Amino acid sequence: MKNFEIPGALQIVSESGGLPKVIVTSKFSTAEIYLHGAHITHFQKNGEPPLIFLSRKSLFAPGKAIRGGVPICFPWFGAREGNVMHGFARTAEWELVETSVAPDGSVKLNFLLPENLLVQAGWPAAKVNFIVTVAEKLTMELRVENSSAQDFIFEDCLHTYFSVGDVAQVSITGLKGHEYLDKVENFARKLETNDAIKITSEVDRVYLNATGTVEIHDAKLRRKILVEKSGSASAVIWNLWIDKAKAMTDFGDDEYKEMVCVESGNVGESKISLAPGKTASLKVVLSTAVL
């Protein structure tokens, strides 16, 4: 893997739990990505607080999901009877297949999910790449190419944990007028009537037909986070709150105050049916501005 290193821009180390990690330094920002799950655990623009939340109690071990960062949920989202939560991609060992630095100073990395994993698990064959561009913005693209002779029906989601100053001072905009499934209330179907969503208790919602940009307004850090996306019909808002935080062994009791998840993907009734030979792309661009 050392042949993918780029002096001054990209270094591969073995740290937590012995898992290989890629440290990226662009002229605008820094990032860290584990091959375990192709999991982004850090992104920070120069002169700003970190954008991505990572639990201080996260486990770093084969077969265990990293708590925080950007888990890749694929080929399913949520619970699935007899299987792991959110699919096997987030605990698989991805391959780093390409790295480069562009003339503008941005650093691009291309990760590949081992193709045999899908077939071994009884899914159609597909080429799955996760392409990350580290610059002033963080750009993530999950690209799925159906290389089988049958339709490939799957869910995908970039389950992004954002770092905030105080979740009580956060508001989320861009979802007014959308229906959502409230998982806290047994998947009750509701309509979002608020201009800004506030987090005052456990929140676990799947917004339907939500293709537009979502904004996180962080009053304490005086920062606005923009979540721009394409190829995504679902938006998920999640904060586990007090009781669930205490019940999780890989999450600090009070860390729910420091994070909120705004996730982009295609889940539930928005799952993707991909014809043979076709490609689906889920692309998310994260940026910040002064609030």
Of residues 141, 215, 258, 263, which has the active-site annotation? 263
The pairing of beta strand 203-208 with beta strand 72-73: unpaired
Region of 175 (left: φ > 0; alpha: ψ -120 to 50; beta: rest) is alpha
Of residues 159, 192, 215, 258, which has the active-site annotation? 159
What token pair was written down for 117?
């994993």
User: Burial level of 103, CB count in 10 A (0-12/13-18/19+)?
Assistant: exposed
Judge contact between 53 and 218, C-beta under 8 A: no
User: Burial level of 81, CB count in 10 A (0-12/13-18/19+)?
Assistant: exposed
Residue from 165, 127, 130, 122 nearest 146 by CA:
127
Judge contact between 214 and 175, C-beta under 8 A: yes
Q: How far is CA 22 from CA 2, 19, 189, in A?
A: 10, 10, 41
Judge contact between 267 and 157, C-beta under 8 A: yes
What token pair was written down for 179?
């229906």
Q: Is 159 a catalytic residue?
A: yes
CA 58/CA 87 separation, integer angstroms? 18
Cite the active site residues. 159, 263
